[in-house]
Amino acid sequence: MVDTLVYRELQKLVSGRVRIGEPMNKHTSWRIGGPADYFIEPQGRKELQSVVSFANRRKVPLTVIGNGSNLLVSEKGIRGIVLKIGSGLARVSIIEKDVVAEAGAKLSALAAAARDSGLGGLEFSAGIPGTVGGAVVMNAGANGSSVGALVREVLLLNLEGRLFHRTGEALNFRYRSCDLQQEPAIVVEVRFACYPREKQLIQEEMERFVARRLSTQPLRLPNAGSVFKNPPGDSAGRLIEAAGLKGLRVGDAQISSLHANFIVNLGKATASDVLALIDKTRETVLARKGVELLLEVQIIGDV
């Protein structure tokens, strides 16, 4: 429910527009998701802090998103405020051998900045379509590396609107997870520990990683990357394919025939289509392969 008073107060706190009933399918890589009551893209830390403090004071629910590349948003959408941390908080700088990035910077911009300064370590992230904040929360990774291994320090904002620091170590990074998935705090800035490396070598490795993605992932259709986590010692894609599920379809949601751990949106897929396909996949893989698949994508919004 949209409250006109809340809307007016919010609009006073930010320089951009507070969007009412913003369709979340415009902000998710799956192109799925119903309306957010209030949608805000903060321009800078001050705005971010004042919206977070307001939400806390007025007890308005708050949801933070980055690039929406790991999210399934329900058709009913999201109640309260959705804060999209994007281009308004996306500065990237180099301090000594570290790359320091605000949470809204794209991983691709981060990897490019590191390369341009002759700093290695972030090559693996080329081609992962998320923001720095989303990548830290998810401990995004590929090609044998993940973001958490490089995080020296994170600047966080708690839900009362207070900034504080945490070391990377204190966040307990693990496979596609870290403690920020349990402790709600907003990533504001991240310092990555890199090392000197020849620019040409960095560039070549990034190109190799991106080329491999282009040939193995169904990137022409909306998707959210890997739907399930890889079980220890195995790959979810291999199991789903071996269970005979490639190409299985519910509505306009389909298990990709190129990569079985991807569900693609053929055009008008709904969150319910994707959820039904997820359920069928989990049941079949459990029955035929004896393995319980766990979700990597996160489901948010009213059901």
Ligand X SMILES: Cc1cc2nc3c(=O)[nH]c(=O)nc-3n(C[C@H](O)[C@H](O)[C@H](O)COP(=O)(O)OP(=O)(O)OC[C@H]3O[C@@H](n4cnc5c(N)ncnc54)[C@H](O)[C@@H]3O)c2cc1C
Q: Which residues are catalytic?
A: 176, 226, 296
Q: Which DSSP state fits 5?
A: H
**Listed ranges 4-12, 73-81, 218-226, 235-243: which one lies at the site for ligand X (CB under 6 A):** 218-226
Cβ distance to ligand X smaller for residue 217 or 235? 217
264 binds ligand X (CB under 6 A): no
Only one of the segments 35-43, 92-100, 221-229, 233-241 lies at the binding site for ligand X (rule: CB under 6 A); that segment is 221-229
Stretch that binds ligand X, among 13-21, 34-42, 51-59, 129-137 (CB under 6 A): 129-137
Please, which residue, 156 or 285, has the CB nearer to ligand X?
A: 156
Q: Residues in contact with ligand X, total (CB under 6 A)?
A: 31
Q: Which range binds ligand X by CB under 6 A, 18-26, 62-70, 242-250, 277-285?
A: 62-70
Among 6, 52, 65, 255, binds ligand X (CB under 6 A): 65
Q: What is each CA distance from 137 to 84, 92, 151, 171, 199, in whole angstroms?
A: 15, 18, 11, 9, 28
Considering only residues 33, 34, 225, 237, which one is a binding residue for ligand X as defined by CB under 6 A? 225
24 binds ligand X (CB under 6 A): no
Q: Minimum distance from CB of 155 to ligand X (Å)?
A: 11
Q: Check residue 40 for interaction with ligand X (CB under 6 A).
A: no
The SS3 call for residue 249 is strand
Cα dihedral 281, 282, 285, 290, rounded to 10, equals 180
Strands 253-255, 249-250: pairing kind: antiparallel
Residues from 75 through 104 that contact ligand X (CB under 6 A): 85, 103
What is the rounded distance in angstroms from the CA atom of residue 68 to the CA atom of residue 195? 30
Least distance (Å) from ligand X to the CB of residue 40? 13
Query: Is residue 119 near ligand X by the rule CB under 6 A?
Result: no
Single residue of 33, 34, 130, 148 touching ligand X by CB under 6 A: 130
Nearer to ligand X by C-beta: 18 or 130?
Answer: 130
Contact residue for ligand X among 25, 49, 67, 281 (CB under 6 A): 67
**Is residue 179 classed as helix, strand or coil in its secondary structure?**
helix
25 sits near ligand X (criterion: CB under 6 A): no
Cα dihedral 113, 115, 119, 124 in deg (nearest 10): 100
Amino acid identity of 17?
Answer: R
Looking at the DSSP assignment, which residues form a beta bridge with residue 156?
164, 187
> Rule CB under 6 A: which of 161-190 touch ligand X?
186-187
Question: Residue 75 contacts by C-beta under 8 Å, 6 or more apart in sequence?
Answer: 33, 34, 270, 271, 272
What CA–CA distance (Å, rounded) separates 67 from 247? 27
Please return the burial class of 280, using the count of CB atoms within 10 Å of its CB with bins 0-12, 13-18 and 19+. Answer: middle
| CB-CB contact of 297 with 63 (8 Å) | no
How does DSSP classify residue 16?
A: S
CB of 281 to ligand X, least distance (A): 17
User: How many C-alpha atoms does 117 have within 13 Å on its Cβ side?
Assistant: 20
Contact region with ligand X (CB under 6 A), list: 115-123, 137-145, 202-210, 284-292: 137-145
Distance CA(49)–CA(54), nearest Å, equals: 9
Residues contributing to the site for ligand X (CB under 6 A)? 29, 64-71, 85, 103, 128-131, 133-135, 137-138, 140-142, 186-187, 217, 219, 223-225, 298
